[in-house]
């Protein structure tokens, strides 16, 4: 849970201290393309799926924790190499060790991950190939020490230790190899100290930040030392103008095609009318690149909200995962990236949306994501647009590949309570990737109907469909992929 997401003592005390939910379900399924192969060469098959799910929300003044876990097992009738167990986990917690002074934040996740968009894919999102899938796990632990010197200034000393791990699934390695060096286990260690002005500085506030970060893999290490200063001027009650300046020293044991050490100089503004509307934008230069970042949160009405975020930074795919993991929080009844994005329970993960290659390269990464969420009566809607662009800063493993890759797309979900016992959900997504010298398009659709038999028992029917087309990809077959999965099952809840 992010440091800013802690509830006040009075609010936390008013909430139920412990909420625990659990379920188990069993389903029979059919797939038109069991291995998720291009061209559908694997053939169809039936399978049995069992799942156990646990949700825990613990909210007390000294400890706030939210966790969601899902264990899935699948047994295939013919293609036994696809049999597997997979884990999905989201965990975020904040412990108050010393009130108003010492805190401990801890996050963890587990999720299957596709290494690329162009390898073997499953419509149900399960691991099906050692070539293109990894069971991914990660953790982040961050102690935080805060001091307040009357109304003049505050000190925030924090450190973090994190790791992300990639494990080959139990599924067999029959399928299509992908042209990347698959992501390896990675660790990060950071420490930072921020000194900021207190409430005594009303119209003109300031802060100074110094940080050190080291990110290591089996084959390479990156180190970044940074010093940043910020001065903010409250022009009006709602508008604040700010300037940011400093210097960043970046070093990598891998040879890079750009010098990433250099000054930071940016300016921007924040417009805020309380929790209902907040907008921040800044632009300038960082790591010797022109950069633009920002965020927006708008409560359009009590039923509708809009959230958006744009980021720009230097990282590896593993470092990007750890950064998102460190900012994972629980807001509005779901897990998300620091309050941005629309996620829910085990449906959220810190993996970057879009599916650009999970490899061992260093990139300049730019991303933007915006979501519109609306609830009215028996209906819930969400629409998300996203875009990611990466510039490779080290050598490509394939001669002739462009250094820039990108993906952008749309996701939409509609949920309706048809009657007190029946709920239907329909979601669809489209994305286009420009990678491996060509491009691909992926379209997916999911439909689900749940019928409540009793307080603890329900029936469900789901359908998962995925279709991919591609053109001019290098070292990857340019054949279409289509899979349709249908499941019918029964779920028991505590």
Q: Specify the pLDDT at position 398.
A: 64
What's the rounded mean pLDDT across residues 433-453? 96
Residue with more model confidence, 70 or 176:
70
Residue with more model confidence, 110 or 343:
110
What's the rounded mean pLDDT across residues 448-466? 97
Tokens standing for residue 371: 């979501």
Q: Specify the pLDDT at position 127.
A: 84
Cα torsion for 166, 170, 175, 178, to the nearest 10°?
10
Summarised one tens digit per residue, pLDDT across range 311-323 is 999 999 999 999 9
What's the rounded mean pLDDT across residues 17-46? 86
Tokens standing for residue 430: 């489209």
d(CA 246, CA 248): 7
Summarised one tens digit per residue, pLDDT across range 132-178 is 999 999 999 999 999 999 999 999 999 999 999 999 987 765 677 88
Q: Specify the pLDDT at position 72.
A: 96
Is 3-493 in CATH node 2.40.170?
yes
- Answer yes or no: is pLDDT of 355 > 50: yes
Q: Specify the pLDDT at position 413.
A: 95
Question: CB 415: neighbour CB atoms within 10 A?
Answer: 16
Least confident of 81-85, 232-236, 426-430, 486-490: 81-85
- Answer yes or no: is pLDDT of 195 > 90: yes
- Answer yes or no: is pLDDT of 49 > 70: yes
Contact 436, 424 (CB under 8 A): no
What's the rounded mean pLDDT across residues 86-107? 96
Q: Specify the pLDDT at position 42.
A: 59
In this prediction, what percent of the chain has a pLDDT beyond 70?
92
Query: Where do the domains of the chain lie?
Result: 3-493
Look over the chain and give the mean of its residue pLDDT values, rounded to a whole number.
90
Contact 234, 260 (CB under 8 A): no
Q: Specify the pLDDT at position 450.
A: 97
Q: Specify the pLDDT at position 170.
A: 78
Q: Specify the pLDDT at position 346.
A: 46
- Answer yes or no: is pLDDT of 469 > 90: yes
Q: Specify the pLDDT at position 141.
A: 97
In this prediction, what percent of the chain has a pLDDT beyond 90?
74
């Amino acid at each position: 849970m992010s440091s800013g997401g802690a509830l006040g003592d009075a609010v936390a005390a008013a909430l139920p201290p412990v909420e625990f939910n659990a379920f188990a379900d069993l389903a029979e399924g059919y797939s038109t393309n069991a291995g998720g192969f291009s061209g559908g060469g694997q053939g169809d098959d039936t399978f049995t799926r069992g799942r156990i799910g646990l949700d825990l929300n613990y909210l007390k003044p000294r400890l706030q924790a939210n966790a969601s876990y899902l264990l899935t097992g699948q047994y295939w009738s013919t293609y036994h190499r696809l049999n597997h167990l997979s884990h999905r986990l989201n965990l975020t917690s904040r412990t108050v060790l010393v009130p108003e002074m010492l805190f401990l934040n801890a996050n963890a996740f587990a999720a299957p991950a596709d290494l690329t968009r162009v390898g073997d894919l499953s419509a149900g999102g399960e691991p099906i190939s050692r070539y293109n899938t990894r069971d991914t796990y990660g953790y982040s632990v961050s102690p935080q020490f805060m001091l307040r010197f009357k109304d003049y200034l505050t000190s925030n000393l924090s450190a973090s230790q994190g790791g992300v791990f990639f494990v080959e699934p139990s599924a067999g390695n029959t399928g299509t190899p992908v042209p990347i060096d698959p992501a390896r286990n990675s660790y990060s260690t950071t420490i930072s100290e921020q000194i900021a002005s207190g409430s005594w500085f009303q119209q003109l506030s300031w802060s100074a930040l110094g940080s050190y970060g080291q990110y290591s893999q089996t084959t390479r290490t990156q180190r970044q030392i940074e010093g940043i200063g910020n001065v903010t001027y409250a022009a009006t009650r709602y508008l604040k103008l700010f300037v940011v300046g400093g210097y960043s020293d970046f070093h990598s044991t891998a040879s890079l095609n750009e010098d990433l050490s250099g000054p930071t100089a940016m300016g921007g503004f924040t417009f805020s009318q309380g929790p209902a509307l907040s907008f921040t934008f800044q632009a300038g230069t960082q790591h010797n690149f022109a950069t633009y970042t920002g965020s927006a949160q708008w409560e359009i009405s009590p039923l509708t909200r809009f959230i958006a975020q744009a980021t720009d930074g230097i990282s590896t795919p593993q470092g990007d995962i750890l950064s998102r993991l460190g900012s994972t929080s629980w807001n509005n009844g779901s897990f998300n990236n620091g309050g941005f994005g629309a996620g829910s329970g085990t449906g959220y993960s810190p993996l970057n949306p879009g599916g650009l290659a999970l490899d061992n390269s260093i990139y300049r990464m730019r991303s933007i994501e915006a979501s519109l969420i609306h609830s009215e009566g028996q209906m819930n809607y969400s629409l998300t647009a996203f875009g990611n662009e990466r510039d490779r800063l080290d050598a490509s493993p394939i001669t002739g590949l462009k250094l820039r890759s990108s993906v952008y797309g749309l996701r939409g979900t509609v949920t309706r309570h048809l009657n007190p016992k029946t709920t239907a959900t329909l979601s669809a997504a489209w994305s286009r990737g420009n990678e491996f010298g060509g491009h691909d398009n992926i379209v997916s659709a999911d439909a689900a109907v749940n019928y409540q038999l009793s307080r603890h028992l329900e029936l469900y029917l789901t359908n998962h469909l995925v279709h991919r087309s591609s053109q001019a990809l290098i070292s990857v077959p340019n054949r279409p992929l289509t899979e349709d999965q249908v499941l019918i099952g029964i779920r028991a809840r505590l």
